Structure 1
């Protein structure tokens, strides 16, 4: 069963998922801290390059299957035009007092 973004526990993570699914890069960047970092399958990646390649240039979409850790960890059926659909885990670090994502990590679940 898919969890709608509006029903996710953490509003910042919900905004991230909504922005990905709406292909709204401006909204996506607003939810990230200015110095945000990310990793994919355990390797740090260039954030701007990765989000273009894996999300915005390829029609990325997140169907959330499960959340834990107060909504900061998600299990997602993620799909894009390059890789098709795969089960992935996403972990988010929210900056203290900022309500923005300072780091996210994704990889196969």
Structure 2
């Protein structure tokens, strides 16, 4: 059973997931602070390059199974054309302005 995107608790995370699933680059970048950072499987990555490869060029999509930490920690089935589908964990840090300042993802 998955959680509908519009039912995700944290507004910044909700916008992030909606942008990923819509393949909407502008909406995605609008959810992030200008100096946002990220890591994948414990390694910091260059955010723009990672997003282009893992989300936009490969039709990334998140089906959220569960959320914790007031909606800032997710378990999701993530799929894209490169890697197929995998169970992933996502953790988000959100600034006072309501934008994602950092996210960390990796296999769950």
User: How many equivalent residue pairs?
Assistant: 108
- Give the aligned partner of residue 38 of structure 2: 38
- Give the aligned partner of residue 52 of structure 1: 52
TM-score, normalised on structure 1?
0.98
- Give the aligned partner of residue 23 of structure 2: 23
Using the alignment, how far apart are the partners of 1:78 and 1:106 within structure 2?
10
Pairwise CA distance, 1:15? 0.3
Unaligned runs of 5+ in 2: none
TM-score, normalised on structure 2?
0.99
Using the alignment, how far apart are the partners of 1:101 and 1:11 within structure 2?
10
Using the alignment, how far apart are the partners of 2:68 and 2:10 within structure 1?
10
